[in-house]
């Protein structure tokens, strides 16, 4: 009798062990697949954040795109991708001395809710630097205007004294102020020639603020700067602004009608005409501008002048 009991217990134990082994290793393939995808997603997000920390934005974007492939439509991955793209293009614009356009992109990054805090901090630092440079330009413009008035009134020593305020400023050698420095040097030379009685000397009254309020892309004509310009332009064309990967059908429509490619290109021209650097905008950014202008009942150009500058 005992042998039968032991036999039955042995069979029960074997069945239980087999059941648990099947459930763990082959009984729930769907769950295993989901766990694998989640693991890959987490890995890409972690890697992307580390690349952002290391300022390797190109690799970070690839990681966030890979995370989206694991979880299509995932809000966190979309948010990180869009924020990183905006910061990357802002850096490129900043490097090409297009400070106003760069400031617009940095502001997008800084205003991102629940985004990467490291990008918010870097964007805010750049925005503050540009704002500080804009204030300095205003200060230098006032000094230069007074100096050129003295020069034209024959007060050459007074003019030179004012120019010293520009030359002695600790920040004057920063790239933002290269136009100011060049003009100040020319005016100084004109004052010195006039003091020596070398005849009438004419000087210009340049618009220094254009270097920070317009899209300046001036570079010296050497191979290094030329390569830098081409490289930035090449990378800039890859920018997708509002991530095209996650755009819905309704995002490409206005009043229920599809916004055509021709409409996007025409709107881009109007945005540029308004003084806004439209080349840093993706097609979806332009569509969003078209939709916003339509909602307010104004033209694209008028909307850009009022809300995008």
pLDDT of residue 78: 92
Mean pLDDT for 149-159 is 92
pLDDT of residue 230: 40
CA distance 149 to 152: 5
Instruction: Provide the angle, in degrees to the nearest 10, between the axes of the packed helices 156-167 and 117-152.
Output: 170
* φ, ψ at 104 (rounded to 5°): -60, -45
pLDDT exceeds 70 at position 22: no
pLDDT digits (tens, 9 = 90+) for 180-233: 898 899 999 999 999 988 877 777 777 665 556 544 333 233 333 334 334 334
pLDDT digits (tens, 9 = 90+) for 63-122: 999 999 989 889 999 999 999 999 999 988 888 888 888 888 899 999 999 999 999 999
C-alpha distances (whole Å) from 64 to each of 40, 68, 92 are 11, 6, 20
Q: Where are the domains of the chain?
A: 132-213, 247-309
Q: What does R_g of the chain's alpha carbons equal in angstroms?
A: 30
Residue keyed to tokens 């204030």: 135
Mean pLDDT for 288-297 is 88
CA distance 32 to 18: 19
CA distance 291 to 289: 5
CA distance 125 to 290: 31
CA distance between the termini of the chain: 94
Question: Cα angle at 185 between 182 and 191, to 5 degrees?
Answer: 145
258 three-class SS: strand
* φ, ψ at 77 (rounded to 5°): -65, -40
- Tell me which residue of 211, 205, 216, 206 sits closest to 134, measured CA to CA: 211
Q: 302: which residues sit within 8 A by CB, 6+ positions away? A: 274, 293
């Amino acid at each position: 009798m005992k042998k039968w009991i032991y036999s039955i217990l042995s069979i029960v134990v074997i069945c239980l062990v087999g059941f648990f082994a099947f459930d763990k290793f082959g009984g729930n393939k769907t769950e295993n697949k989901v766990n694998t995808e989640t693991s890959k997603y987490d890995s890409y997000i972690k890697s992307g954040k580390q690349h952002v920390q290391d300022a390797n934005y190109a690799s970070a974007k690839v990681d966030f795109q890979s995370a989206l492939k694991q979880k299509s439509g995932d809000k966190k991955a979309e948010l990180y991708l869009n924020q990183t793209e905006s910061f990357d293009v802002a850096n490129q614009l900043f490097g090409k001395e297009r400070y106003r356009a760069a400031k617009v992109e940095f502001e997008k990054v800084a205003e991102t809710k629940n985004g990467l805090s490291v990008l918010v901090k870097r964007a805010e630092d750049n925005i503050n630097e540009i704002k500080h440079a804009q204030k300095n330009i205003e200060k230098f413009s006032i000094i230069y205007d007074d100096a050129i008035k003295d020069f034209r009134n024959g007060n050459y020593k007074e003019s030179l004294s004012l120019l010293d305020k520009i030359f002695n400023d600790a920040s004057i050698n920063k790239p933002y102020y290269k136009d100011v420095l060049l003009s100040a040097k020319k005016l100084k030379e004109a004052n010195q020639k006039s003091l020596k009685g070398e005849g009438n000397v004419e000087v210009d009254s340049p618009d220094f603020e254009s270097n920070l309020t317009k899209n300046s892309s001036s570079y010296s004509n050497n191979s290094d700067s030329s390569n830098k310009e081409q490289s930035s332009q090449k990378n800039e064309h890859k920018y997708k602004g509002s991530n095209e990967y996650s755009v819905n059908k309704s995002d490409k429509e206005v009043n229920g009608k599809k916004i055509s490619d021709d409409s996007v290109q025409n709107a881009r021209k109007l945005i540029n005409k308004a003084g806004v650097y439209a080349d840093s905008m993706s097609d979806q950014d332009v569509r969003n501008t078209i939709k916003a202008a339509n909602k307010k009942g104004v033209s694209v150009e008028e909307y850009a002048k009022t809300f995008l500058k």
